[in-house]
Amino acid sequence: MRIQRIGYTPTFGYNKRLNNELNKKLDAEKPDDEMANTIRNLNNYCNSTEELIRSSKNEAEEDEFLSAFTAPKITLAGLIDIKYPELNYSAREKKSYLNEIPKNLDPDEIPWQRIVAEDFAMHDAEENIENDPDVVYFILQAKNEQPAESVPQTKVQNIETAIEAIGETPDIIERFVPTFSSPKGFESLGGMTELKEELNDKILYPATHPEEAKQDFAEYGKRPPRGIMLYGPPGCGKTSIAEAMAMESQLPLFKLKISKAGSAYINQTSKNYENVFNYVAECAKMIGAPCFLFIDEIDGLAKGRDNDASSEDLKQMSTLLNLIETSRDRNVIVLGATNKYDLVDDAIKRRFDEQVYIGMPDMQTRVEVLQKTLGKWLKGVPLSKNKDDLKEIAEKLNNFPTSAIVILADKASDIARKDSRRNIIKEDFYQAIEKNQNLKIKEDNYKEQRLRTRIGFPSNN
């Protein structure tokens, strides 16, 4: 067998997200922490050596770099697992390398990623291999061998099969299937650093680390997530955040179709709600992991009750309250979103673990959105790297929601394309902004009433 030099280099090379998580841990350590310093130095060595493997020009060169890489990498993983077990470093790195391997390889071709993953597996020893059937399955699959019947497939592999086994999907629900323009995870979203950390801590980590979640409950009473409500002005990223959470966790996301949820028939609307939650709960049961249920414009289903509410309205509200209340026990994580927070029934609000305000993008977020958007286009790359120009543009984008910034980038690119197909420049943005002032939003119209500053009185916040 010979090592195949795959003519494909992943966008991010080594697992950048995991590497960033590790660096945050290391940055928080004291300067004289010997183990942290050893991990830091070894990690820098491994990352630079891996870059050499990826950029090697021939098989002999790749072989040389690979031999200098594998043993230090295994040692690094072992040290990190000891010091920061919550990172689940070894298992995540193995899967990262295995997921890079192209499908339908010639049996005689061995990509270097498989060699690294197999070294991880050998180092785990037999008892650890048995405890990580995902890795065994992927290695056997990469070798074009069939796994033994006792070796289960991974949850990711089982999702499609599980959904097919459940049966016909209700008409009022749709599964999120990522497209080219969908967020690939939190890295696709500009800014919102604190929000990402909060969502990771309160939703994603317990959803993807069930054993640690059980330990948190036993030791601190921290319960698994039931749901979170996102509210704020339209176009500021509530739907993108929900999709990014699904991509970040690799868990299924289902969207409730508000337009089809209601019915003119007595009791049918309540039954529709029950069917949706039952379907998502069954999917979670089949794959052995939580599933997300996204209810956009939840104010349309859960408006505040008043004296004019009919008995049917009250019944529907009672059903929805109970379904959200019991979602935690059924492994369903409910994500609500609304532009009209004040209209949502107070009892519904209380059923969510958190209500998070997604406001207009701040200066740093606007800069990052511009960077990520322009960086995708060949004629936009030079501007995406000009920090001074981006800041000047971002200053003029105050009161524009995130979606409007992307629209204005499209309009600026059209101006540059029509002008001799040149690079996009800041003046193109100025022209687009001047012509599209109607895209601005008055943020106060979408804040919760008690969060707004009252005229003539100081704010309590």
Total domains, the chain: 3
Residues 101 and 145 placed together within one structural domain of the fold = yes
In this prediction, residue 452 carries a pLDDT of 45
Residue 204 shares a structural domain with residue 246: yes
Co-location of 269 and 190 in the same domain = yes
Domain boundary among 305, 325, 357: 357
65, 128: one domain: yes
Query: Residue 228: inside a domain, yes or no?
Result: yes
Q: Is residue 201 part of a domain?
A: yes
Same domain, 82 and 217: no
- DSSP at 188: G
Query: Which domain CATH number covers 382?
Result: 1.10.8
pLDDT tens for the chain, 461 residues long, are 333 333 333 333 457 788 888 989 999 988 888 889 889 988 888 888 888 888 887 877 888 888 888 888 888 888 898 888 888 888 888 888 877 776 666 655 677 777 777 766 555 543 343 444 443 333 344 334 443 333 333 344 457 677 777 777 778 888 888 877 788 888 888 878 888 888 988 899 888 888 888 888 888 888 888 889 999 999 888 999 999 999 998 899 999 987 767 655 556 778 888 989 999 999 998 888 899 999 998 988 876 666 565 666 677 788 888 899 899 889 999 999 999 898 888 888 988 988 889 889 999 999 999 998 998 888 999 999 999 999 999 999 999 999 999 999 999 999 999 999 999 999 999 999 999 999 998 887 776 655 543 333 333 43
Pair (148, 177) in one structural domain: no
Nearest to 344 by CA among 312, 307, 297, 308: 297
Same domain, 402 and 278: no
Same domain, 286 and 382: no
Alpha-carbon dihedral 87, 92, 97, 101, rounded to 10 degrees: -150
What is the domain extent for residue 48? 2-153
Is 257 domain-assigned? yes
Are 250 and 346 members of one domain?
yes
Which of 357, 384, 402 is the C-terminal boundary of a domain?
A: 357
**Using only C-alpha atoms, what is the Rg of the chain?**
25
| Residue 343 three-state SS | helix
Q: Are residues 175 and 318 in the same domain?
A: yes
Do 347 and 374 lie in one domain? The reply is: no
**pLDDT for 125-148, tens place per residue?**
433 434 444 433 333 443 344 433
81-87 own/partner pairs: CB under 8 Å, 24+ apart:
83/25, 83/35, 83/36, 83/39, 84/22, 84/25, 86/209, 86/212, 87/18, 87/21, 87/22, 87/25
Same domain for 182 and 105: no
* 66 is a domain residue: yes
Q: Is residue 453 in some structural domain? A: no
Q: What is the pLDDT of residue 319?
A: 87
Instruction: Tell me, yes or no, whether 381 lies in a domain.
Output: yes
